Structure 1
Amino acid sequence: MGLLEMNLSELLNKPKLTLAALRGSRRILLRRRDDEDLVLTTAARAEQDHEVMGATSRMFVEMMRTTQGRTLVLDVMPATFPWVRYLPAHDVREFSVELVAALQVAAEIDNTAAVAQLIAEWRHTAEVHADPELYAALTTDSGEDFGPVPEPGAGAAA
């Protein structure tokens, strides 16, 4: 059994019954009405997931050290990330290198947020390439300089 879904209130009201459900499921998705949902799993299963991610990441890093491995990774990219078809070939190569490096670090620090961010950024880049009007608007130099751009979060001087 995979992911079991229930409301957080079930865990709060019937903790023994809810935790017993973990025996037949790898994870429980706890739905919350006014906040982000939670996932409940056992420490042993979380450690297994971490170990698998680390092994997979190390394998990809080692594959990328060989010409055949790089070729294989590039061959599977469109099946794994269909939107890479919109990227120029050199961008697909750059994405694959950055992805493998990010996976390696994520496994070491046990945090996948940077990998998710990297994938989102490259997907957005592919979206730009997929839309000729947007691509033209973002890559055409109008010749005008609108001056320096303030740092994010810096308010206008009064």
Structure 2
Amino acid sequence: MTAPEVSFSDLQLRGKAVADQLRRTPGQSLLVRRRDAEDLVLTTAERAEQEHTVSAATTRMFVALMRRDGAARELVTDVLPDAFPWVKFLPRDDVQAFVIELVSVLRAAESIENPAPVVAVIEGWRHTAMVFADPALAAVLAGSTDDDFGAVPKPSTR
């Protein structure tokens, strides 16, 4: 469901009316559009806590299942393309490495209540898949050497 939208000006000028609209919205959230900065999501503290509780519980159950059951790990590896279609471009070993890293980071990120590391893992593996999807780029990168070319000079300040 997409959250209803309000402008930042409406929030500033008609704060009480916007708060009333928020309470009447089924999802208890509003998208606050801004012209000069990133858009915001306005929600109630109770709704934010509920969403966090659901997310944390789901993550903990998923991680526990993945850590305890080899068949579950295989099943997740098999169905991963449904959630992340781009894994089709990864070698099978890399798909398994993605699953292992994702589970590990999900667990750690949940413990610090910060989803940013999970997003970084997903984006990193998506970019890796993009390389494998482009045979020319994959060949260039596969042909790179392990030689150390020394320190990179500082850019000029001109």
**TM-score strictly above 0.5:** yes
Matched, 1:105 2:108: yes
Q: Which residue matches 1:59? A: 61
The offset of 1:146, in angstroms, is 6.3
Distance 1:142 1:106 in 2: 34
The offset of 1:141, in angstroms, is 3.4
Q: Assess if the C-alpha contact under 8 Å between 1:57 and 1:107 holds in 2.
A: yes
Q: Assess if the C-alpha contact under 8 Å between 1:54 and 1:104 holds in 2.
A: no
Q: Which residue matches 1:49? A: 51
Distance 1:157 1:19 in 2: 52
Aligned length: 154
Distance 2:20 2:47 in 1: 15
What is the TM-score with the length of structure 2 in the denominator?
0.89
The offset of 1:149, in angstroms, is 4.0
Identity %: 47
Q: Which residue matches 2:33? A: 31
Q: Which residue matches 2:10? A: 10
Q: Assess if the C-alpha contact under 8 Å between 1:2 and 1:27 holds in 2.
A: no
The offset of 1:3, in angstroms, is 0.8
Q: Which residue matches 2:126? A: 123
Structure 2 segments unaligned to the other structure (5+ residues): none
Distance 2:108 2:125 in 1: 18
Distance 2:125 2:145 in 1: 25
Structure 1 segments unaligned to the other structure (5+ residues): none
Moved more, 76-85 or 54-63: 54-63
| Greater than 4 Å deviation, 4+ residue runs | none
The offset of 1:155, in angstroms, is 2.1
The offset of 1:78, in angstroms, is 0.2
Q: Which residue matches 2:88? A: 85
The offset of 1:2, in angstroms, is 4.5
The offset of 1:157, in angstroms, is 8.8
The offset of 1:99, in angstroms, is 0.9
CA RMSD across the alignment: 2.1
